[in-house]
Every structure is written in C-alpha cells, then in structure tokens.
Homo-oligomer: A and B are copies of this chain.
Amino acid sequence: MKASLDPLAPWLAGLSLRDPTVSEAECAALREVVSEVEAFPAGRDLIRAHDRSNSSSLVVEGWCCRYIDLEDGRRQITAIHIPGDFVDLHSFPLRLMDHSVRTLTPCRIARTPHAALKALTEKQPHLTRLLWLSTLVDAAIQRQWIVGLGQRPAMNNLAHLICELAVRLRVAGLGDGSAYLFPMTQAELGQALGITHVHANRAIQQLRRTGLVRWDRQTVEIVDWNGLQELAEFDPVYLNLTSEPR
C-alpha cells in the first residue's frame, strides 16, 4: 500500500464512481486548498470531542476512526475511515465536535482550513455539492451501522463490516477487495461492533468456522464473496456508487 504522490488520488478515485462530472478546474481548486500532508503515528487523537476545529482532514494513507467515549470509559467507534475519506468534513459546517477522531494506524493526513473551504463554497456550487455528498455517504454508512448494531448478531455484523471495507477499499483504488490488511486490534473491532473484545474474538472465530473468510493476523481474505454477502445481508446501494468499482 504505497503512498500516492497525489494526496487527492484516493478521494478522486472514489468520486469518479459516484459523480464523474468533476472538472479539471474543480480539481485544481480543491488541490489548492489542501495543504501539505502531515504524518501521524498510530493511536493519536487528531481532534477531541467538544473541541472547536478550524480545519478538516483528508486521509491520504492509513486508517483512522471517529469515536465517542462514555463516562465509564467504554468507547463506541462510530466510523472507520480509509484513504480517500474526508474524515472531518463534518466539522466544517458544524461548530463544536460531538466526537473525537483518532488514527488507527500511522497515517498521512491532508488538512484543509475551514476558511479555504468556505471560500470554495462561495465560488464552486458544484464542488460544494460533491463535498456535501461525501458527508452524506458517511451518513448512509452510519445508518448501516445503526442497523447492524440494532439488528444483526455479532458475527453477521462483523461480516457486514468486512464487506463494506472490501468495497470501500476497492473504490479508493486500494487492492481488489478479495484480501486486505485489517489493521485494527480485536479490542478496537469490538468498540466498532458494540461488543467486548472477548466477544469480538469469539465472533471472529465463529466467522472463520463458516469458511467464508480467512483471517490470519491482520490479513482478511474473502474466500466466498457471495456467501459472505448473503451472511451479512450486504447491499452496497448505500455506498452510492453509480458504477461498479474495479
């Protein structure tokens, strides 16, 4: 998973499957507001809940997540972000952060000042709608997580997450989706699935026993995509892709 030379590359890769009507001028305008890329180690908070953010972060390389902590220390991860995700575009129209953002792996992040984004929305209505769109895809993903947390047993929800990330990674131009690096610990996975790390471990074992995926160390390999999709009831409509990735 080499670094792209163009920090916008994974974002544009995803966009090309959602709305291919981006002009060269728009790309240039966006490129201009994306400041230089910064590197972060794993497990570093980029923004904390209740902070006031004045820039938005685009993931160029690595995984990060948004999360909300409860008073007793339990943590719920509300989103997982991969390269190409504008992880914190939400903080642009919103004022105070209602959640925190943190790296799951070493990351390279491009920051965009809110002032620059605001200026951009003044002049570029089409590009503005695309940025809006990308926050709404995030929201659609959140809805699926709500369904998973509310209705799906742990193993099925885990299968759904694996499907989702496979497609999203493929959309971002990272691999073919049949096997990928899954760099989260089982504790973090549990925080995303709303279960304890002990139960996350058991859900993984249960999923392994179905034979639909192989899961060794940090590598997930999808052995039977159709079977996994069926187990998870995974319907990629919510990812808002107009054309098939790959």
- Residues of chain A whose beta carbon lies under 8 Å from any beta carbon of chain B: 49-50, 66, 68, 70-71, 74, 76, 78-79, 90, 93-96, 98-99, 118, 121-122, 125, 128-129, 132-133, 135-140, 142-147, 149-152, 193-194, 233, 237-238, 240, 242
Contacts and interface: CB of A to CB of B under 8 A. Distances in A.
SS of A interface (majority): helix
B240 A194 contact: no
Contacts of A50: 237
A151 B74 contact: yes
Contacts of A71: 233
B237 A146 contact: no
A232 B68 CA distance: 14
Nearest to A150: B194
A132 B68 contact: no
A53 to B, nearest CB: 13
